[in-house]
Amino acid sequence: MKQSPDQSDLMKNFSPSKFSAGGFLGNDTRTIGEIISADLKVLEKNDIEKEALAGTLQSWYDRAKAAMGGETEIAPGVTAMYHEARGKIPSPFRGEGTFEKGDVVLREASSGKEVVLTCLSIHLIRAHGFFQGKGQRFRVDPADIIDIIKRTGTQ
Amino acid sequence: MEQAVLSHSFLSIFLIFVSAAFTDNILLARFLGMCSVLGVSNRVDTSLGLGAAVTFVTTVTAALNYGIYYYLLVPLNLEYLRLITFIVLIAAAVQLIEMIMERVSERLYFALGIFLPLITVNCAILGISLFMLNKPYGFLQTLAFGAGGGFGWFLAITLISGIREKIDETKLPSGLAGPGITLIIIGIMALAFVGFSGMIKI
Amino acid sequence: MTQNLWMNILLSIGFLAALGTVLSVLLILAEKKILNYGECLIDINDGKKTIPVQGGSSLLSSLSENEIFIPSACGGRGSCAYCKVQVKEGGGMIGPVETPSLSGDEIKNNIRLSCQVKVRSDIFISIPDEIFSVKHFTGKVVHKKPLTHDIIELKIALTKPENIDFTAGQYLQIETREYKGREQVSRAYSLSSVPSDTRSVELIIRKVPEGISTTWVFDHLKEGDPVNFSGPYGDFRLSDTDSPVVFIAGGSGMAPIWSMLRDMKEKGITRTAYYFFGALSQRDLFFLDELRSLEEELGWFTFIPALSHEPENSGWEGERGLITDVVRRRLPDLNGFEAYLCGSPGMIDACIKVLTESGIPEENIFYDKFA
């Protein structure tokens, strides 16, 4: 289907741009729609809604932020650390405004695995179910998050 | 070719307009100009804008092509160049309307985007100019035919977009969303417009 | 018959060529007429400055072509919302790109994104006076000094113009260059140099993981390389009063404070000042010697570094704990003080809470929120 400049402009926002070095799709060859439906299937399998998941991520983010750079434990064996960054980043979906920068890195102690959360990535999950493409720093893999949630025993 | 045979009465011009818009609707009876409909008909406001643009182009190009055909191509025995001449004229008219739209409503210009230059290759517009050649029309009648054809297309895309806006696409089988359901809507509406057929013979 | 054939070929080619030419000429003329908005006047601050411009471009670019630089990070695409300007009249309808970046109050006050407002008629705008002194500079990197494992000090000597005039606390917009497929961007960094040094500027920059700008600065920028920037921007500055002062900043947030402290020393300002430098552990501290000697020299200045995650037996004898706790502990009564903060929004919000509880009213708390 031919796209209007509105839509092809949108696609430009998802590739590496002035605001995102890696872009939102990384080296994932799937379309945005395919990424969203694949990730939402994982949520469905575990019977959790995207808004609820985003709410949990937001609470971890806020707790890490309040610790002002120190490590906080959000689940047994999982810590979160906030790294400040100056500025705001716009949502790649036009018309959604800008979001505060600042990474929260979730770290699973035994495996060393890390997941990075930002205000924007949480918003993309809550509003669109978009967990971002593979191969770039800010993808939030729902399977990893659900793993962590299971450890805390909360939803 | 002989020029106008029909009378130039107001009634005949009106009838030509009405028949071009309804009984011979360029989209629903002749099935021309569907690509833009499939692409743009998801919202009523953009459909109204595109429909207005197309109507302007069909009216202006029908008149211009009539003039060029009968006063330039025919005397020079160049009738075989009609296809290329009409297309070039349509392209120029579309460029003009792009500029006007950019000036008058930038929002619409941006939302329609690629579909504005695509009007050039919208077969409905070329179709109207070519059909006009088969009819024994004078200038005013050609104008009515062009305006009516464009108006019919405008009416059709507006109706289709109204229907699409009211449809909750998540309730459809996933393969039918977008172009699939649009084609089905066009088909059903074409059936409805069959009811008009034969009402006016021109 | 071949003669007839040639005639026909020439005729058809000639006809088509003529048709194409006539239409092209007509379209060019039409474009000149329709898309020409004529000369428009930009009236700034009620006639303080008026600029005639050719209509049709955005307010942002029309102003920057006339050496008035409104800050922008996204190059005019409406994404960063840095370029807000009050448009009193002549701005046209507010567009869908602008609305999500503007609050209800801003919309009521006719604040618009200047990169989205097209100048199509005379337009009346209002901008802060500081913008008039913003200039576009080219300079050369003098040194890139590592201060900690992830912070450097960047010193740039001015090439053109040769001098910069700024107040301590302001920031610059540095333009990076393209590298490895990354686009050119512009990012804000606070000035850490003293205003009296007008021939060069210093910045304190922390590396952000996968940050487009800091990766360029850390990995690609070399001493002697040219750098473009604009400035000075911002209204974060020391007040004119005599009140005692509390500075709170950590990491690269120290930049404006470092500028203010050295400026105060040069100008002989002797207001009582405390600087709380918050960091995680010893490896995140820098300028320790400089700040300690400043403390010895100046009777009115006290330097208090505080570490929040320093290992127990490291031998660190300074303050420990979260910076907010340290402030509360050392200065429980802050009545009459003013506060100057620089850091992340989270840190600033936490500090504001402690400071107001200790007696500083909100209007006496000034900050450069990294936002």
**CATH label of the domain that carries residue C154:** 2.40.30.10
Contact B26/B132 with Cβ under 8 angstroms?
Answer: no
Contacts of C9 (CB under 8 A, 6+ apart): none
Residues C294-320 have pLDDT tens digits of 999 998 999 999 998 888 888 888 899
Q: What is the residue range of C315's domain?
A: 245-369
User: What is the helix (H) or strand (E) element at residue C126, kind and residue range?
Assistant: strand C123-126
User: Is A95's Cβ below 8 Å from some Cβ in B?
Assistant: no
Give the domain CATH number at C76: 3.10.20.30
pLDDT in tens, A12-31: 778 877 777 778 888 888 88
Buried b (16+ CB within 10 A) or exposed e, C313-336: eeeeeebebbbbebbbeebeebee
Judge if C254 and C334 occupy the same domain.
yes
Tell which A residues from 2 to 61 touch B, by Cβ distance under 8 Å. 2-6
DSSP string, C152-168: EEEEEEEEESS-----T
Q: What CATH number is attached to the domain comprising C364?
A: 3.40.50.80
> Same domain, yes or no, for C205 and C117?
no
pLDDT of B200 over the 90 cut? no
Q: CB of A57 within 8 A of CB of A132? A: no
The answer to whether the CB atoms of B39 and A1 lie below 8 A apart is: yes
Helices B179-194 and B139-166 pack at an angle, to 10 degrees, of 130
Whether C43 and C66 map to the same domain: the answer is yes
Q: What is the dihedral of CA A28, A29, A33, A38, to 10 degrees?
A: -60
Maximum Cα interatomic distance, chain A, rounded to a whole number of Å = 50
Which residue ranges make up each domain of chain A? 5-152
Beta pairing class for C186-190 and C171-175: antiparallel
Q: Would the CB atoms of C280 and A84 count as touching at under 8 Å?
A: no
Residue of A nearest to B108 (CA): A6
Which pLDDT score is estimated for B2? Answer: 42
Q: In this structure, is residue C30 part of a structural domain?
A: no
Count CB atoms within 10 A of the CB of residue A47. 7
Same domain, C171 and C66: no
Please report the pLDDT score of residue A155 as a whole number. Answer: 43
Select from A20, A84, A98 the Cβ nearest to the Cβ of C80: A98
> Which of residues C131, C163, C196 is at a domain's end?
C131
Mutate to test the interface with A, among B42, B43, B106, B114 (most CBs of A within 10 A): B114
Q: Domain map of chain B by residue range?
A: 10-165+175-194
Q: For C23, which of B81, B84, B92 is closest by C-beta distance?
A: B92
Cis peptide bond N-terminal to C161, omega within 30: yes
The dihedral formed by the CA atoms of B143, B145, B150 and B151, expressed in degrees to the nearest 10: 100
Q: Which two tokens stand for residue C139?
A: 């300079």
Q: How many contiguous H segments (helices) and E segments (strands) does chain B have? A: 9, 0
In this complex, the chains that touch B, judged by 3 or more CB pairs closer than 8 A, are A, C
Tokens of C276: 């709380």
Same structural domain for residues C261 and C145? no
Closest approach of B85 to chain C, Cα-based (Å): 7
Measured CA distances, C317 to B62, C283, C311 (Å): 90, 15, 12
Q: Looking at CA atoms only, how far is residue B39 from chain C in angstroms?
A: 22
- pLDDT, tens digit, 9 for 90 and up, residues B115-151: 777 788 788 899 999 998 888 888 999 999 999 999 9
End of a domain among C233, C254, C279?
C233
Listed residues C174, C208, C233: the one ending a domain = C233
pLDDT averaged per 10 residues in sequence order, chain C, 371 residues? 82 90 92 81 90 88 89 78 88 78 85 89 89 90 93 94 92 86 82 94 90 87 92 90 92 92 92 92 91 92 91 87 90 91 86 92 85 50
Q: Please give the tally of structural domains in chain C.
A: 3
Closest alpha carbon within chain C to A66: C346
List chain B residues with CB under 8 Å of A37.
Answer: none
- Inter-axis angle of helices B44-68 and B82-104, to 10 degrees? 140
Residue C101: inside a domain: yes
How many CB atoms within 10 Å of residue B57?
24
Structure ipTM over 0.85, yes or no? no
Phi, psi of C91 (to 5 degrees): -90, -10
H/E element, A126: helix A119-128
